[in-house]
Amino acid sequence: MNHLTILRRIIEVLKKGEVFILTTHKDPDGDGIGSMLALAEALRQSGKIPHLLLEEPVPSPFDLLKGAGEIRQDVDEGTSPSAVFILDCADELRLGGLRERLTNIKPWINIDHHETNTGFGDINLIEPKASSTGEIVHDLIREADLPLNKNIAENLFAAIQTDTGSFRYENTTSKALRIAADMVDLGVNPWQVTQKVMDGHDLARLRLLKSALETIELHHGGKIATLVLTRDIFEESGAGKLDSEHFVDFARFIRGVEIAALIRQTGDARFKFSLRSNNRVNVAQLASVFGGGGHERAAGFDCEGDLGSLKESFIKEAVRFLNGKC
């Protein structure tokens, strides 16, 4: 089924329905939350009733986005949704505890741009070449002839900006830039959005960054770089888990590095590996070896075990990819 046909199926669901649940993956980023908020406001402005749902409260700094205060952790009893929109979520397991709570509400409409998306929805709009889920939501809003005001535009801009690294990453396309320019024409102030979601750091984040940089190690002749953030480091800095967003880029930007990994402790013996590559290694494929996924240049996976052993196993596999033996 081609893109336009799927898009029209989703528009038909929107036309027939009145009440919708919108959600994104656990530990949400700017693309997931910005896409949720933009689509919700467009639906609200067209007379529909959106319910925005996350497993946990909106993390900083995304709680500063327009409409973030409408996001809840529960849906009112008696609500009868026409559909569930799941945005920027490559696998239903990434819904966390919401997965079971939403399982009896159909259809699930899965809108995403991860190449490793499992197609878990009843309707799947997956565009791996899109810069962001925000870009796909923009297309949906336009195609469905939904309202697009300044607040919607700001959230779409934030979604695209955060997933393209302020329009610097390889997924920055001419289309992404054109959409961003259109959003500016609608009144979005890029500097103000940047201050909200990209550059408004507190001291705890900078302390965390200092500690992270002190853990940088180079492997395989300087082609692999790792950083490690343990729970002790988080506690000492006073920072939260989302304060480490984009830290992996500091390892990736080291000259000669092809694969960068930020290893963040998430439990007693649980760790999250955030991966980036510069030119030739598809880290989505590398992450899939460990049960994860993502994009060609940005991916990740969760794992459990001893940090030293996990790190050694990852480096061994990364070397295999670098040597073209994957």
pLDDT digits (tens, 9 = 90+) for 55-96: 999 988 899 999 999 999 998 777 899 999 999 999 999 999
Least confident of 34-48, 61-75, 135-149: 61-75
CATH superfamily of 3-197: inorganic pyrophosphatase (n-terminal core) (3.90.1640.10)
What's the mean pLDDT when you consider all of the chain? Answer: 94
Q: What is the pLDDT of residue 158?
A: 98
Asked if 273 contacts 298 with a C-beta cutoff of 8 angstroms, the reply is no
Averaged pLDDT, 13-37: 96
When pLDDT is cut at 50, 70 and 90, the band that residue 326 belongs to is: low
What would the CATH number be for the domain defined by 203-322? 3.10.310.30
- Taken in order 150, 152, 154, 156, the sign of the CA dihedral is negative
For residue 197, what are the contacts with CB-CB under 8 A and spacing of at least 6? 30, 61, 62, 64, 65, 158, 161, 162
Averaged pLDDT, 184-193: 97
Domain with CATH 3.10.310.30 in the chain: 203-322
In this structure, what token pair is assigned to residue 152?
């919607």
Asked if 246 contacts 236 with a C-beta cutoff of 8 angstroms, the reply is no
In this structure, what token pair is assigned to residue 32?
């997931």
Asked if 256 contacts 279 with a C-beta cutoff of 8 angstroms, the reply is no
When pLDDT is cut at 50, 70 and 90, the band that residue 315 belongs to is: very high
Domain with CATH 3.90.1640.10 in the chain: 3-197
User: Which pTM value belongs to this model?
Assistant: 0.86
Q: What is the pLDDT of residue 325?
A: 62
Residue 28 has pLDDT above 90, yes or no: yes
- The percentage of residues in the chain with a pLDDT greater than 90, rounded to a whole number, is 87
* Nearest alpha-carbon partner for 43 in 117, 197, 151: 151
- The percentage of residues in the chain with a pLDDT greater than 70, rounded to a whole number, is 99
The predicted-structure confidence for 193-252, as pLDDT tens digits, reads as follows: 999 988 878 899 999 999 999 999 999 999 999 999 999 999 999 998 888 988 999 999
